[in-house]
Amino acid sequence: MDENDSRFKGTIIDKWLIDYSIWDKGKFYDAISEYMFHNVPESHQTDGHLIAMLTETMATYIECVIVIKSDGLISYNQQGNIIGKSPFVKIMHTQLALILKIMRELKLLPKDRLKKHF
């Protein structure tokens, strides 16, 4: 994806969503912590543990995305024969499910934010 792509003009999107290689664990943790502190009144100090879990899960997800972008969706043996789908695809999907679970627990998903206003 190109950062100057017209699909992203006028949207708020972190640069790491365009270029996963610049993702930074520390910055991600700090950004989520700050957001929670300012926007989720019922957040608690212990949410830091969940934020740390979210950060680690995101790190694994992003590593998988980077490998898949580099190596492709198909795995090959040393002779160049197709051996099947990349094992990173399953790991990536598992991590994405965990990310959504943790985000739901932290009330970081849009539907969770809507509930507090009604």
- Cα-based angle 71, 74, 76 (whole degrees, multiple of 5): 85
Do 12 and 4 contact (CB within 8 A), yes or no?
no
Query: In this structure, is residue 97 part of a structural domain?
Result: yes
Each residue of 57-116: pLDDT tens digit? 999 999 999 999 999 999 999 999 999 999 999 999 999 999 999 999 998 888 876 655
Query: In this structure, is residue 2 part of a structural domain?
Result: no
DSSP state of 18: T
Would the pTM of this model clear 0.85, i.e. be above it?
no
| Paired tokens of 49 | 């543990």
Query: In this structure, is residue 81 part of a structural domain?
Result: yes
DSSP state of 24: -
DSSP one-letter string for 57-109: HHHHHHHHHHHHHHH-SEEE-TTS-EEEE-HHHHHHHHHHHHHHHHHHHTT-S
Each residue of 6-48: pLDDT tens digit? 554 544 557 777 888 888 999 999 988 888 888 777 777 779 8
Number of domains the chain contains: 1
Query: In this structure, is residue 111 part of a structural domain?
Result: yes
Question: Domain range for residue 106?
Answer: 24-115
Query: In this structure, is residue 13 part of a structural domain?
Result: no
Amino acid found at 110: P
Do 54 and 65 contact (CB within 8 A), yes or no?
no
Q: Is 9 helix (H, G, I), strand (E, B) or coil?
A: coil
Report how far residue 101's alpha carbon sits from residue 94's, in angstroms, rounded to the nearest whole number.
11
